[in-house]
Structure 1
Amino acid sequence: MHPKHLLPFITLGLSAPTLSPRDIPPSFLQTLTLYAQYSAAAYCPDNSNSPGTKLTCSAGNCPLVENADTNTLSEFEDPDRTGDVAGYLAVDKSNKKLILAFRGTRSIETWVANVQMGKEDAGEICAGCEVHSGFWKSWSAISEATLDAVRKAVEAHPGYGIVVTGHSFGGALATIAAAVLRNLKIGGSVDMYDYGAPRIGNSEFAEYVSAQGANYRVTHANDIVPRLPPKMFGFHQLSPEYWVHAGNGEAVGTGDVVMIDEADSKMGNRGADMPGVEAHKWYLGKIDACR
C-alpha cells in the first residue's frame, strides 16, 4: 500500500477545509527522518569531492546514515561552473538503495532576499513544462554526468531502488532529477523526498511530476521557502504535501505530520501564519548543521 493512504488526511465539507490528523506509522516517520539525514549529509564538506568513502556528518546530525553501510560512488561540487550545486551519489547496502542527494543553498537568507521569477522551457520533461531559470540551469550543468553515474550504479547494483533527495535548493534539483530519471526509465522505482523545497515550475510541471507518484514533499511549520517564488508569478507546488507542524528543536512524533493531498493547498505550510526562515533550518533535525 502506498504510504500516503496510511497518513493523516484533510476533511473537506461545505465549510472551510480542516485538518484531521491521524498518527502516521512509525516506520514512515523513520523513513522521512532517514532521507532528511541524507539531505543533511549533502551539506557536510567531508562528503564533497571524496568519492569511495563512507558518508559522515561532522555536526552529528545524521546518525541513521552513519549507522548504515554506505559508500559514495560520486561526489560533486563545482562552484566555478555550476554556482551552488553540490551533492553525491551513494550506495546504501543496509537499505538496498542508491541515494542521489543535492545540497541546499549555502545562504538561504540571500536566496530569499533575491529570489528570481524567470522560467525556462523544460519540454524534455513534459509538454508545456517550464521551470525556474536558476534551477533549470543548475540541473542542466550537471545532468549529463549525473545521469551517467546513476546508470552505472544501477548496472552495478541490480535490484536496488533509487531515492533522490535534497533540502531547499537541493530539493528543487532533486525534484527535477527524479522526473528526468523516471522519464528515461533509468533503474526501477525512483522515490523523491524533498525538504523545504521552493516552488519549481509552472502548473504543467507540477501536475506532471505529481502524477508520476512516489513524491514526498515535506514542509515544516511556517517555513517561507515552500511559498517562493510566489504563485502569482506562475509557480506551483507538487502534491501531496507532508506538513510537519512540530516546532523548531522539538522531537517529531507520529502525530506531528499531516498529509495534504491537494495541489497548492492553503492549509499546511501555506496556511501557517507569519512565514519565516528559522523553520527552514529544522527538518526532523538540524538539517543544515554542517553548512
Structure 2
Amino acid sequence: MLTSLAIDEATFAKLELFGQYSSASYCSNNFNSTGDKITCDGGNCPLVEAAGATSVHEFENSEAYGGVTGYIAVDTTNKAIVLAFRGSSNLKNWLANLNFPLIDFTDICEGCQVHRGFLEAWNAVAEDVTAKVKETQESNPDFSLVFTGHSHGAALAAVGATIFRKAGDAVELVNYGQPRIGNMELMEYITKESADSTFRVTHTNDIVCKVPPKALGFHHFAPEYFITSGDNTTVTTADVEAITEIDSDKGNAGADGTTTEAHRWYFVTMSGCD
C-alpha cells in the first residue's frame, strides 16, 4: 500500500500561506489591536500582508489557564476566515503543555482520550472564540474556515477543529510542528472523518512532533506533510512529502535524532516577531 505521495502546487501554496498566518500569531500587533491589518515586522508573513487580511478579533488571555493567544482574521483575497493560535511563549503555555495526562474525550468518539492541558486551554477561550467565529461566518457565509497554529498553537487548533467538526462545522486544519494530542482512538477518528481537510505539517527531526511519547499512549493523526529540506532554506514542492498512514513511522517519526532548530523553521521563521 502506497503511504507516501508527492504534493501538488495548490497544496504547497496552502501550506506556505497558512504557515505565515501561524507565524503572524507571534507578532504582538496581531493579538492586541483588533481591526488592523495582519502584519509582521520580522518579514515573516508577506503572503498574508499581500492578501490584505484584517483581524476581527484578537485575544491574549494572560490570566486564564494556558495563556492562550491568537487572532481571527478575514482574508477576502483567499476567501477565508482564519483562526490562528500562537505557540509557546510564556510560563502558562508551558504549564499547559506539561499537563499531559490523557483524559476522556468521549463527546467526540467512543474510547477517545485527549491531552488534558490542551483541552483545558482550549476550553478557557472556547466560548469567546466560538461566538466570534460564528459572528464572522454570518458576515462571510461563502468563506472557508481555517484553524491554524504552530507548536502549542497547533495543538489548540487541532483540538478546536475537532470540536467544531463534531458539531457539524466544515473546518480546514493546517498546522505546524504539532505535538501529539491524544490516543489512537482519537487519531483514527480525526483521520477517518477529516483527512481531506487536515494538513499536519512536520519538519525533519522537529523534537516537538515527537512528544508526548507513544509510550504514554499518545499518537498522531494523518495525513502528515513532511518537509525534508533543512533549516533556514527555501522550501519547494519537491521538499514536501504527504504521508497518508496514520501514526506513521516514516516522516518526522522516522527522522534520526531531535532538534529545536527544525521546530522553528516552517517555510519561514515561525517566531519571527518574538
- Residue 81 of structure 2 corresponds to 98
- Residue 171 of structure 1 corresponds to 154
1:181 CA displacement: 1.3
Matched, 1:194 2:163: no
Q: What TM-score does the superposition give when structure 2 sets the normalisation length?
A: 0.93
In 2, the alpha carbon distance for the partners of 1:239 and 1:144 equals 28
CA contact 1:103–1:167 (8 Å) conserved in 2: yes
260, 263, 266: which is aligned to 1:280?
A: 263
1:162 CA displacement: 0.3
121, 133, 142: which is aligned to 1:159?
A: 142
**Could you tell me the percent identity over the aligned residues?**
43
38, 45, 56: which is aligned to 2:21?
A: 38
What residue identity is the alignment partner of 1:239? A
CA contact 2:226–2:242 (8 Å) conserved in 1: yes
Q: What TM-score does the superposition give when structure 1 sets the normalisation length?
A: 0.88
5+ residue gaps, structure 1? 1-9, 13-18
DSSP 3-state at the match of 2:142: coil
CA contact 2:100–2:117 (8 Å) conserved in 1: no
In 2, the alpha carbon distance for the partners of 1:131 and 1:137 equals 10
Alignment of 1:1-291 (within 5 A): 11=2, 22=6, 24-106=7-89, 111=94, 115-186=98-169, 189-213=170-194, 214-291=197-274
Aligned residues: 270
What residue identity is the alignment partner of 1:255? A
CA contact 2:67–2:90 (8 Å) conserved in 1: no
CA contact 2:22–2:85 (8 Å) conserved in 1: yes
Task: Specify the structure having the higher radius of gyration (Cα).
Answer: 1
1:77 CA displacement: 0.6
1:212 CA displacement: 2.0
CA contact 1:78–1:85 (8 Å) conserved in 2: yes
CA contact 2:184–2:218 (8 Å) conserved in 1: yes
5+ residue gaps, structure 2? none
What residue identity is the alignment partner of 2:114? V
DSSP 3-state at the match of 1:249: coil
In 2, the alpha carbon distance for the partners of 1:36 and 1:117 equals 26
1:285 CA displacement: 1.1
Q: What are the Cα deviations for residues 228-255 of structure 1, in whole angstroms up to 9, with x where unaligned?
A: 0000101110111110010001111111
In 2, the alpha carbon distance for the partners of 1:107 and 1:78 equals 11
Q: What are the Cα deviations for residues 155-175 of structure 1, in whole angstroms up to 9, with x where unaligned?
A: 111111100000001000001
In 1, the alpha carbon distance for the partners of 2:113 and 2:168 equals 21
1:42 CA displacement: 0.6
Query: Which consecutive segments of 4 or more residues in structure 1 shift more than 3 A?
Result: 114-117
In 2, the alpha carbon distance for the partners of 1:149 and 1:126 equals 26
In 2, the alpha carbon distance for the partners of 1:247 and 1:50 equals 35
In 2, the alpha carbon distance for the partners of 1:177 and 1:139 equals 7
1:111 CA displacement: 4.7
The answer to which of 215-224 and 25-34 deviates more is 25-34
Q: What are the Cα deviations for residues 113-143 of structure 1, in whole angstroms up to 9, with x where unaligned?
A: x844312222222222211111011001111
Cα root mean square deviation, aligned: 1.9
